[in-house]
Structure 1
Amino acid sequence: MNRPSPLDNVRIVLSHTSHAGNIGATARAMKTMGLSVLYLVNPKSFPSNEADVRASNARDILEQARVVGCLEEALQDCVLAAALTARPRDLAHRTLAAREAAGELFHHARHAPVALVFGRESSGLTTPEIGKCQITVHIPANPDYASLNLAAAVQLMAYELRMASTVTMPAASQQSVYRLASFQEIELFYSHLEQAMIHSGFLDPAQPKRLMQRIRRLFARAQLEKEEVNILRGIISALEKHRSK
């Protein structure tokens, strides 16, 4: 009986894919590298005969793919989400090269679900979508022509994840297991903090000035653990109670 692989905890998430052929080619790219979990956020056309044809012998991945209405659904229970982006972003999260990002994703996939998120073929991921992730991933490419086909980008990252799975972790690293907060726990914390800032007058919802975007960036760098989120929310609740008195 085969032991479960951390690769089974890696989700490939395609957001608002326009061309069904890219979904099929993604499934094929995944299967060649031992990945099997595919999430599709509002695909333009799926199921599709074109996707089936491009998938070749990886149609089982298409059959098991989960179609969801928003990125939040795709990231449920994930402790780390990495957004693939080809262009520099204002107020960007911590950015890792493809190989380094794959290593970090695989490390956390040993203990909990993680996600690698890809955007639209034409424009990539939106700023709010990237804000839902903790790190961004950059594929070092020819600066004069850095545009990669969606399925090619998935194939490259799937290969790096496969290679990360062959690296033997030092015993000390294997023992230092800590529980990162899940996507839902982080989002509830952001919502709690935002409401507290509005009620205190620190945040004006009519003129937010990208404050929440900066806060998301700050805490994404910290990669909060479950206990740390509980502490922060406890502090907010205590301050709220004190203010109400």
Structure 2
Amino acid sequence: MLDNIQIVMVNTTHSGNIGAAARAMKNMGLSRLVLVDPKADINEEAIQRSSRAEDILHQAVITDTLEEAIADCGFVVGTSARSRNIPWPLLNPRECATKVAQAAGQNSRIALVFGRESSGLTNEELHLCHAHVHIPTDENFSSLNVSQAIQVMCYEMRLAAISEGGDQSSADHPIWGVDWDYELASHAELNGMLQHMEQTMVDIGFLDPNTPKQTMARMRRLYQRAGMDKMEINIMRGMFSAVQRQQASLKTAESAEQDGDSH
């Protein structure tokens, strides 16, 4: 399970936090660290704060965007301390660990995404996540350092990984209660389907691209909540392609009819 989890840090500004995050990960048996457009270097301070977890730092993957970082992930969770305009599935750390274990049981890669030290994740970044996780701190002193938040989440991941008995939270418990026939769709596959859907909705006149409002954000929430597998993605895209072909045929027929009338 733990090998399937990657910790993603977005726009981190302090090298010490990167090092402390690596230490927290190694304490709990995680090893995959992804840095999205970091504003700090992996320098001597980071290495010192890692406390002999520099192997994680040296193997860290650096990407330009969050979408690139999570492209091959089937389950993505973003940490958030704030309520949002559109409600999103919200988990506490233990509930999150159970969902992660189930996704890992489907051989999916999982991303736990942590935002900027000063402002966390943006709404747009949180919309890329299947669910959000909130660490229930004291209301009078709720701010957590990003490396502390990573420590909490890594601890819960480890508990879930070693869990045994009747709590059904171990990685070998299928996410739907039975062995599934196809792997969960990756973020890139789901994103491709949503872009295909958006274009189809524009083509048939359902969606005005100039005033989209929150339509696509709500559609993203719907399909991420469904936990689609790869075959389901292919079916949906096949349906959108058929709709687009039908729409194109209608437009061709209308154009031919208009040409005929003009003669």
CA contact (8 A) 1:93 1:220 kept: no
Task: After TM superposition, give the deviation of residue 106 of structure 1 in Å.
Answer: 2.2
Give the structure 2 partner of residue 176 of structure 1: 178
Task: After TM superposition, give the deviation of residue 205 of structure 1 in Å.
Answer: 1.6
Report the structure number with the largest CA radius of gyration: 2
Give the TM-score normalised by the residue count of structure 2.
0.87
My pick for the range that moved more, 119-128 or 197-206, is 197-206
Stretches of structure 2 lacking an aligned partner (at least 5 in a row)? 250-263
When residues 206 and 9 of structure 1 are mapped into structure 2, their CA distance, relative to the original with a 3 A threshold, is: same
Q: Which amino acid aligns with 1:160?
A: E
My pick for the range that moved more, 135-144 or 106-115, is 106-115
Does residue 203 (structure 1) correspond to residue 207 (structure 2)? The answer is yes
Task: After TM superposition, give the deviation of residue 142 of structure 1 in Å.
Answer: 0.8
Give the structure 1 partner of residue 154 of structure 2: 158
Give the structure 1 partner of residue 95 of structure 2: 100
The secondary structure found in structure 2 opposite 1:142 is coil
Does residue 30 (structure 1) correspond to residue 25 (structure 2)? The answer is yes
Give the structure 2 partner of residue 82 of structure 1: 77
CA root-mean-square deviation: 1.6
Q: Which amino acid aligns with 1:143?
A: E
Q: 2:228 aligned to 224, 227, 231, which one?
A: 224
Please give the residue correspondences for 1:13-162 in structure 2 after superposition, counting only pairs within 5 Å: 13-110=8-105, 111-162=107-158
CA distance in 2, matches of 1:113, 1:149: 25
CA distance in 2, matches of 1:109, 1:11: 12
Aligned length: 240
Q: Which amino acid aligns with 2:9?
A: L
CA distance in 1, matches of 2:42, 2:56: 12
CA distance in 2, matches of 1:212, 1:24: 37
CA distance in 2, matches of 1:140, 1:172: 28
CA contact (8 A) 1:81 1:115 kept: yes
Q: 1:241 aligned to 231, 235, 245, which one?
A: 245
Task: After TM superposition, give the deviation of residue 171 of structure 1 in Å.
Answer: 11
CA distance in 2, matches of 1:218, 1:108: 18
Q: Residues 36-88 of structure 1, C-alpha deviation per residue, up to 9 Å, x if partnerless?
A: 00000011012222111111110010000001100111112110000010111
When residues 172 and 137 of structure 1 are mapped into structure 2, their CA distance, relative to the original with a 3 A threshold, is: closer
Task: After TM superposition, give the deviation of residue 177 of structure 1 in Å.
Answer: 3.1
My pick for the range that moved more, 166-175 or 57-66, is 166-175
- Percentage identity across paired residues of the two chains: 45
CA contact (8 A) 2:102 2:172 kept: no
Give the TM-score normalised by the residue count of structure 1.
0.93
CA distance in 2, matches of 1:140, 1:164: 18
Stretches of structure 1 lacking an aligned partner (at least 5 in a row)? 1-5
CA contact (8 A) 2:6 2:111 kept: yes
Task: After TM superposition, give the deviation of residue 24 of structure 1 in Å.
Answer: 0.3
When residues 171 and 35 of structure 1 are mapped into structure 2, their CA distance, relative to the original with a 3 A threshold, is: closer
CA distance in 1, matches of 2:20, 2:133: 21
